[in-house]
Amino acid sequence: MLELKRITKVFNEGTADEKIALRGVDLTLAPGDFVTVIGSNGAGKSTLMNIISGRLSPDIGEVWINGRNVTALKEHARARYIGRVFQDPMAGTAPHMTIEENLALAYNRTKRRTLRFGVTKQKREWFRETLRTLHLGLEDRLTAKVGLLSGGERQALSLLMATFTKPDVLLLDEHTAALDPARAELVTELTKKIVERHNLTTLMVTHNMEQAIRLGNRLIMMDGGQIIFAAEGKEKEELTVERLLEAFQRIRGSQFASDRTVLSS
């Protein structure tokens, strides 16, 4: 479904600030795979997400989605295949527009935008049905401005907007990191439910090791622009935070260094 071939990215090449963000990363996600990504600071997780979504383009390497080489496609063109939720709850929605208008914008992700009304009676009904699955009462606030929602509500809405059109690939970029523990738990549960319901091929970056172990069927650990550890199936199910840290130390010969990583919840 998603295939990354030898992705390499260098920032500020040839200057004193040169930084190799990704070194020949190869990664293949089969349809329905749910891969969680953990890694220390500057491991290249965000760069990887930005390269898949098309916000950045790789120096070397190719991105394939659904058997199609999309490396040359711009972000907006590639977005037809990709749903994305950002870390910042403010980033995934338009604050001065209503909930139904935001959903209408998301609804057209896979379709050509026309001069027909964005919110019709039919769509409104469907939006209401879909919002009901969040159990946040948003279905009764269709005409409320999104800026009035709390961070957790906005993030849940962003998640819904990214997924209700069933993207080929779902990218979750630390989407619970900016929320308080209770809301983070809520959004995590929603994520699990939605991904299962639509059987979405998902790549989720997280700074929460416990979350990375709990969710998904595969786990990869990144460091220094490379994938240094991968686990799937039974091996993944048997992972613990301690074992992950051990693995890191064994491979890298150093302590896992991150000021943000939550080792347990």
Partner 1 sequence: MFSSVEAGLIYAVMALGVYLSFRILDFPDLTVDGSFVTGASVAAVLIVNGANPFAASAAALLAGFAAGVLTGLLHTKGKINPLLSGILMMIALYSINLRIMGKSNVPLLQQETVITKITAVWQKVGLDAALNHLVSFTGFAPRTWAVLVSMAIVALVVKGLLDWLLKTEVGIALRATGDNKPMVASFSANTDWLIVSGLGLSNALVAFSGALVAQYGGFSDVGMGIGMIVIGLASVIIGEALFGARSVARATWAVIGGAIVYRLILALALRVEFLETGDVKLITALIVMLALVVPNVLAAQKERQRKKRRARQLERGETVAGAETNYKSV
Q: Which single residue is written with the structure tokens 């293949």?
A: 28
Question: Mask of contacts with partner 1, 181-210, x by CB under 8 A?
Answer: ------------------------------
* Residue 117 in the binding site for partner 1 (CB under 8 A): yes
| Structure tokens belonging to residue 105 | 């914008």
Of 185 and 210, nearer to partner 1 (C-beta) is 185
Residue 162 and residue 158: Cα distance in Å, rounded? 6
* Residue 66 in the binding site for partner 1 (CB under 8 A): no
**Min. distance of Cβ 249 from partner 1 in angstroms?**
37
| Structure tokens belonging to residue 44 | 């290249």
* Residue 104 in the binding site for partner 1 (CB under 8 A): yes
Q: How many CB atoms lie within 10 A of CB 247?
A: 16
* Residue 79 in the binding site for partner 1 (CB under 8 A): yes
* Residue 118 in the binding site for partner 1 (CB under 8 A): yes
Concatenated DSSP letters of 208-245: BHHHHHHSSSEEEEEETTEEEEEEEHHHHHT--HHHHH
* Residue 84 in the binding site for partner 1 (CB under 8 A): yes
Q: What is the CA radius of gyration of the chain?
A: 19
* Residue 114 in the binding site for partner 1 (CB under 8 A): yes
| Structure tokens belonging to residue 183 | 């809301």
With CA atoms as reference, report the closest residue to 261 among 228, 221, 225.
221
Among the listed residues 60, 72, 94, 251, the single contact to partner 1 using CB under 8 A: 94
Among the listed residues 6, 68, 113, 193, the single contact to partner 1 using CB under 8 A: 113
Q: How many CB atoms lie within 10 A of CB 210?
A: 15
| Structure tokens belonging to residue 124 | 């409104």
* Residue 97 in the binding site for partner 1 (CB under 8 A): yes
Binding site for partner 1 (CB under 8 A): 53, 55, 74-80, 82, 84, 90-97, 101-102, 104-106, 108-110, 113-119, 161-162
